[in-house]
A and B are shown apart, each in its own frame.
Chain A
Amino acid sequence: MSINIDQVSRRFGTTTALHPTTLSIGNGELVGLLGPSGSGKTTLMRIIAGLEQPSEGRVLFGERDVTRLHVRHRRVGFVFQHYALFRHMSVFENVAFGLRARPRAERPSNEEIKRRVFALLERVQLEKLASRLPAQLSGGQQQRVSLARALAVEPEVLLMDEPFGALDAKVRVELRRWLRHLHAELGFTCVFVTHDQEEALELSDRVVVMSQGRIEQVDEPTRLYRRPINRFVFEFLGETNALSGEVRNGHLALGENAGLDLPGVADGPVELLLRPHEVALATSPSAGARLPVTVSAIAPVGAEVRLELEVTWSTQPWQATLSHAEFERAGITRGTRCYALPQQLRRVDEASGALVDMPLPNQGSDRP
């Protein structure tokens, strides 16, 4: 079932939680709503579910206008942030709830309920724990029960509020992969809310980035990461190195002993952004870039080594990531002094806040 959100907004008293928003989600698509707290992502999802009424606008499931349709009749599966399992019911009864709550005429027989609940529990690998109470399960198991419970009513739309937020890192990664498979297999339309950019990028077909009640960008994960349209999206999607100052005659002077050639850039203030992996380190400055740094911390994380760089020419320290091989070769230790060479630069357009790719400064050696 496709979902169309048409000029939907939501105000609480004088505060606006969601500005008029339009978004369409295709049938079978897996869409992540990503944003910091207060960005309106949860409000938007609760409006889709019908747990919240929009102040203005329409919500359509397929061609059908469901704006005024009660939650009970929308047939959406909703997975809550802290699972919201019925604490006094066994796992089995939790999953069976949606089937038992149907009007008598549509209610399946007890045997049918039992068969369907066990089929679902098998799918979430919890059939052995059917008689346990929620409090006797681990977080990951509770999450799977709540998913099975939501799927039991055979929803055409599955909504999940911070589905993996409360779980530890390893379980989170496992469950994400598992959900991706389940989605591929069952093909329901799925919208989930998260503030974790990694989760959004890994799980979604498309990511909707939100901030302060507005949609900033909607794109596929790879495109989103490579081409964020503004500063907010760029900074929200990952670690950021920033550089700012006044350009004079195509040169950005950064204090006494640092600077960057920016040929073709008009005089005036500039703000530049780049990712830690877009920083290379060298023992000497290049012809166009003289950015001295001191390595102040080294953290090997997974496949890469993260370096924190102390700088005199920016208010915030910079970050750089190297592969282990590069790190070994460079022979860097804490306190090593070297030079940062930007491998890619984006300029923040002052008027619109949009990001513009910049030509790189001369990478050649400084020596004439």
Chain B
Amino acid sequence: MRRIGDSTPVRVTLILLAVVLSALVLLVPLVAIVFEAFARGIGPFITNLTDYFTVQAIWLTLLIAVITVPVNLVFGIFLAWLVTRFSFPGRRLLQTLIDIPFAVSPVIAGLLYLLLYGRNGWLGQWLDGHDVQLMFAWPGMLLVTIFVTCPFVARELIPLMQAQGSREEEAAVTLGANGWTLFRRVTLPNVRTALIYGVILTNARAMGEFGAVSVVSGAIRGQTLTLPLMVQQLYQDYNTVGAFVAALLLAVLAVLTLVVKALLDTYAARKHAP
């Protein structure tokens, strides 16, 4: 007997639709970026790639991602653990609070930070008195990036940890496991896939964030420009090749992240294979 919907025309139509749509939406833009970056040949490409400001932007982008990911990884695990394993007054409120960075437009988030930590903001004034400048400098960009990306890990973990429940952890404790053993050998392996996925999302967003970062950046070339900001600025300066070189770099970083994820997946699958 045939399953419902399993007829050849339906199948062919669906497959074609999926392939065409993915090509149009995902593949064509990627290919276009490569084409545009090499539009004037290899020479201008190299020039733009090795440009001092571009190299600075790469470093800044990587720096922000490298700090954001571990911070939000720890914070996300902590939040998910708290929300799914304990019951306390305000638990629901906390769960809603986690979502605020998703709900608020990144530009608004950037503005809020600017108003709070800027020279005229009430936290900023105090910081200014101590010679600390957050806004229009990389620490401020890092702060807003952490804010914008903080829900990703927690949001991936919470539903999974809720579904899995705490029985396995209770079992581990009755068998004499201490907190660290419990976390390392039971909790973490159970949420591994979701965790990796959360990290990928955090990383992608941290490197690609535009709105919030652009508000607090001040756009100082060589100092506070990340790759996404660079793309915009170069494009506005009519340096199309430069803009697309920066865009290509971002795309390559994204693809690299996915490759790392795939490698981790295969490694973990092999390690836990029966």
Contact = CB atoms under 8 A, between A and B. Distances in A.
Interface stretch (A31-39, A86-94, A186-194, A354-362): A86-94
Interface string B176-217: 111001000110011010000000000000000000000000
Contacts of B186: 86
Contact of A101 (B175, B190, B192): B175
Nearest to B178: A72
B171 A101 contact: no
Contacts of A288: none
A97 B174 CA distance: 11
A131 interface: yes
Nearest to A97: B175
Contacts of B272: 88
Contacts of B174: 49-51, 71-72, 74, 76-78, 150
B171 A78 contact: yes
A97 B190 contact: no
A203 interface: no
Nearest to B171: A84
B176 A102 contact: yes
Nearest to B165: A84
A86 B171 CA distance: 9
A150 B170 CA distance: 12
B175 A136 contact: no
A80 interface: yes
A305 interface: no
A41 B186 CA distance: 28
B120 to A, nearest CB: 48
Contacts of A77: 174
A77 to B, nearest CB: 7
Contacts of A82: 167
A101 B178 contact: yes
Interface in A113-132: 131-132
A145 to B, nearest CB: 11
Given A84-B167, A87-B190, A97 B274 contact: no
Interface residues on B, range: 10 to 19
A98 B167 contact: no
Interface residues on A, range: 20 to 34
Contact of A86 (B168, B176, B178, B274): B168
Contact of B181 (A71, A76, A101): A101
A270 interface: no
B66 to A, nearest CB: 29
B175 A153 contact: yes
Nearest to A131: B274
Contacts, number: 71
A206 interface: no
A72 B168 contact: no
A258 interface: no
Contact of B176 (A72, A85, A136): A72
A107 B198 CA distance: 36
Contacts of B181: 101
Contacts of A144: none
B166 to A, nearest CB: 9
B258 interface: no
Nearest to A70: B173
A121 B114 CA distance: 63
B49 interface: no
A152 B176 CA distance: 11
B176 A153 contact: yes
Nearest to A78: B174
B219 interface: no
B172 interface: yes
B156 to A, nearest CB: 17
B274 A84 contact: no
B265 to A, nearest CB: 14
Residue with the highest number of chain A CB atoms closer than 10 Å, among B173, B176, B192: B176
Nearest to A74: B174
A149 interface: yes
A89 B271 CA distance: 11
Interface string B148-168: 000000000000000000011
A237 interface: no
Given A87-B190, A88-B190, A90-B274, A98 B170 contact: no
A273 B167 CA distance: 41
Given A82-B167, A86-B168, A132 B274 contact: yes
Contacts of B189: 86, 88-89
B170 A80 contact: yes
A1 interface: no
A102 B178 CA distance: 9
Given A80-B170, A84-B170, A101 B177 contact: yes
A50 B173 CA distance: 10
A78 B170 contact: yes
A84 B168 contact: yes
A130 to B, nearest CB: 10
Given A87-B190, A136-B274, A97 B185 contact: yes
Given A72-B177, A72-B178, 9 more contacts: A49-B174, A51-B174, A84-B167, A84-B168, A84-B170, A85-B168, A87-B190, A101-B178, A153-B175
Interface of B: 167-168, 170-178, 181, 185-186, 189-190, 192, 272, 274
10 contacts: A49-B174, A72-B178, A74-B174, A84-B167, A89-B189, A97-B175, A98-B176, A101-B181, A131-B274, A149-B175
Interface of A: 49-51, 71-78, 80, 82, 84-90, 97-98, 101-102, 131-133, 136, 146, 149-150, 152-153
Nearest 5 interchain pairs by C-beta: A98-B175, A84-B167, A78-B174, A101-B177, A84-B171
